């Protein structure tokens, strides 16, 4: 099932999580979370016996304790493994360090002074290594199934986006998926298209557990042998509804082994094998292929079970500020999945998006006058975006100007 925009919705209780599956089968289950984006209020604690999402120490001079360093996450993991070393166990570790702004600790900051993002990744790799060393110390490493993956990459300026959440180009959606199998030491690469939705069915098969019937993913275990099955046509869905906050069209995408189709105001078609950076839109040259992929995209959207509206999350002011401190923008999105192409194209608003996000940093740094000035400029460009006036309300309130705050809030309600 889909749950769009974590800041507005939570995982509904009708969903079955891997933690629930394994808890019912006698596994000790734990999760250690590194950032507020996976706070238990979003329903992701479902099925876990322990869910460590409390952040006691400030990081990176944030005003809200919204993130912990990887070393602290690994320390909690080592303690958890020691406590559960004699039990069947499932541990979910969440590391958050490789996120903007990139501030790796020493010695990684010096070693990667020219690429701090790489420094964050190297630091995270080091922290994961601490957990692996504990497994070896306990004599559990060889018999443990370990999966390392990510939920997104970073755009790093490609196509005009600074980090992630806006576009669905390859740098943002292509992530590592690494399985360390019990007793296996020989590396192997699966060349076929796979997705994160494949993790649960694969884990269930490897553990001899029946996967829930509603799981959409594919069991990858047949690919773990020397004789891999032949490739089959596969279509994986991706989306970004972030542009709809600004009144633009959504980005709805379909990816195959070779092709990517993006449905939006000005649709896009890329050969991601020959054009990995997605610089040449082949829509005009390959109209038939684009139409076929568009039809498959429609079928996927029609078959997908929509989220239950009861999973809506009401965030308080502190929760919103925590998300903003991590670089996320909370606010309503449109879930209109038709192919109406009359709206603004997201490609034309990426600069607007980057500037809008920058106001959150300014507010957190108490640069209220500069943030207000930017908001006023944004409001002139797109006066119908009510979130701008909500930001201006926050600025006025922080400055103690409650009359102005009420005025901005009324404007937000009007639009």
- The model's pLDDT over 34-59, given as tens digits with 9 standing for 90+, comes to 988 888 888 899 999 999 988 655 44
337: in domain: no
Give the mean model confidence (pLDDT) for residues 244-272.
Answer: 96
Distance of alpha carbon 321 from alpha carbon 297, whole angstroms: 35
- Residues 207 and 251 placed together within one structural domain of the fold: no
For residue range 302-330, what is the model confidence (pLDDT) as tens digits?
887 554 434 655 555 555 555 444 445 55
The position carrying tokens 């990995």 is 276
Task: Look at 201-205, 238-242, 320-324 and tell me which has the smallest mean pLDDT.
Answer: 320-324
Pairing of strands 89-93, 28-32: parallel
- Answer whether residue 4 is part of any domain: no
Q: How is residue 8 written in tokens?
A: 């507005």
Whether 248 is covered by a domain: the verdict is: yes
* Residue-wise burial string across 251-261, b where 16 or more C-beta atoms lie within 10 A, e elsewhere: bbbbbbeebbb
118 and 213 part of one domain:
yes
> Does 341 map to a domain?
no
Which pLDDT score, from 0 to 100, does residue 205 have? 96
- The 3-state DSSP class for residue 53 equals coil
Domain presence at residue 10: no
Last residue of a domain, one of 175, 200, 224: 224
| CA 38/CA 48 separation, integer angstroms | 13
What number is the average pLDDT over the span 248-267? 96
Count how many domains the chain has: 3
Verify that 280 and 201 share a domain, yes or no.
no
pLDDT above 90: residue 405:
yes
CATH code of 285's domain:
3.30.1120.10
Q: Any idea which of 121-125, 232-236, 339-343, 385-389 has the lowest mean pLDDT?
A: 339-343
Beta strands in 196-271 (DSSP E): 236-240, 251-255, 259-263, 268-271
Same domain, 107 and 212: yes
Containing H/E element for 132? helix 116-137
Domain co-membership, 159 together with 32: yes
Q: Are residues 245 and 171 in the same domain?
A: no
Give pLDDT, residue 53: 87
DSSP 294: H
Secondary structure letter of residue 88 according to DSSP: -
Q: Which domain holds residue 272?
A: 236-309
Q: Is the model more confident about 342 or about 200? A: 200
Asked if pLDDT for residue 64 goes beyond 80, the answer is no
Q: Are residues 200 and 324 in the same domain?
A: no
What pLDDT, on a 0 to 100 scale, did the predictor assign at position 334?
55
CA distance 269 to 265: 13
Q: How far apart are CA 162 and CA 355, in angstroms?
A: 10
User: Reduced to 3 DSSP states, what percent helix, strand and coil does the chain have, rounded to the nearest 5?
Assistant: 40, 10, 50
Task: Look at residue 5 and tell me if it is in a domain.
Answer: no
* 320 and 387 both lie in a single domain: yes
290 domain-assigned: yes
Rounded CA gap, 415 and 407, in Å? 13
Question: Average pLDDT of 253-265?
Answer: 97
DSSP 309: G
Lateral strand order in the sheet of 268-271: 236-240, 251-255, 259-263, 268-271
- What average pLDDT does this structure show over 133-152? 97
Give CA–CA dist 123/98, Å, rounded: 9
> Residue 409 has which token pair?
């809030």
What is the reported pTM? 0.87
List alpha helices for 138-224, DSSP H. 170-173, 199-207
Whether 62 has a pLDDT exceeding 50, the answer reads no
pLDDT band at 226 (very low <50, low <70, confident <90, very high): confident
- Three-state secondary-structure class, residue 385: coil
């Amino acid at each position: 099932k889909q749950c769009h925009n974590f800041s507005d919705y939570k995982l509904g209780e009708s969903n079955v999580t891997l933690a629930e599956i394994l808890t019912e089968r006698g596994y000790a289950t734990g999760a250690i979370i590194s950032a507020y984006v996976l706070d238990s209020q979003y329903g992701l604690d479902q099925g876990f016996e322990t869910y460590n999402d409390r952040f006691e120490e400030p990081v990176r001079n944030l005003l809200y304790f919204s993130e912990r360093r990887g070393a602290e996450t690994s320390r909690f993991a080592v303690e958890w493994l020691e406590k559960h070393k004699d039990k069947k166990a499932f541990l979910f570790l969440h590391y958050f360090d490789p996120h903007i702004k990139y501030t790796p600790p020493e010695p990684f900051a010096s070693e990667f002074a020219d690429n701090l993002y790489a420094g964050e990744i190297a630091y995270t790799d080091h922290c994961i290594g601490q957990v692996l060393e504990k497994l070896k110390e306990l004599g559990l490493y060889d018999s443990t199934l370990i999966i390392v993956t990510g939920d997104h990459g970073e755009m790093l300026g490609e196509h005009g986006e600074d980090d992630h959440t806006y576009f669905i180009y390859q740098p943002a959606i292509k992530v590592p998926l690494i399985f360390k199998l019990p007793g296996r030491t020989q590396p192997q690469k699966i060349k076929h298209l796979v997705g994160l939705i494949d993790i649960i069915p694969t884990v269930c098969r490897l553990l001899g557990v029946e996967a829930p019937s509603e799981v959409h993913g594919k069991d990858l275990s047949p690919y773990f042998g020397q004789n891999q099955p032949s490739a089959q046509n596969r279509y994986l869905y991706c989306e970004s509804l972030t542009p709809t906050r600004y009144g633009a069209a959504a980005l709805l995408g379909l990816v195959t082994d070779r092709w990517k189709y993006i449905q939006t105001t000005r649709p896009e078609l890329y050969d991601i094998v020959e054009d990995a950076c997605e610089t040449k839109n082949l829509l005009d040259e390959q109209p038939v292929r684009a139409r076929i992929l568009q039809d498959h995209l429609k079928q996927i959207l029609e078959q997908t079970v929509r989220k239950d509206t009861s999973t809506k999350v009401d965030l308080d002011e502190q929760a919103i500020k925590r998300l903003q401190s991590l670089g996320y923008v909370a606010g309503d999105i449109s879930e209109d999945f038709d192919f109406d192409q009359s709206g603004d194209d997201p490609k034309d608003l990426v600069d607007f998006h980057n500037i809008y996000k920058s106001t959150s940093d300014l507010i957190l740094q108490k640069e209220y006058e500069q943030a207000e000035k930017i908001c006023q400029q944004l409001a002139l460009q797109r006066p119908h975006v009510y979130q701008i006036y909500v930001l201006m309300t926050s600025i006025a309130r922080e400055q103690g100007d409650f009359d102005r705050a009420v005025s901005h809030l009324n404007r937000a309600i009007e639009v």
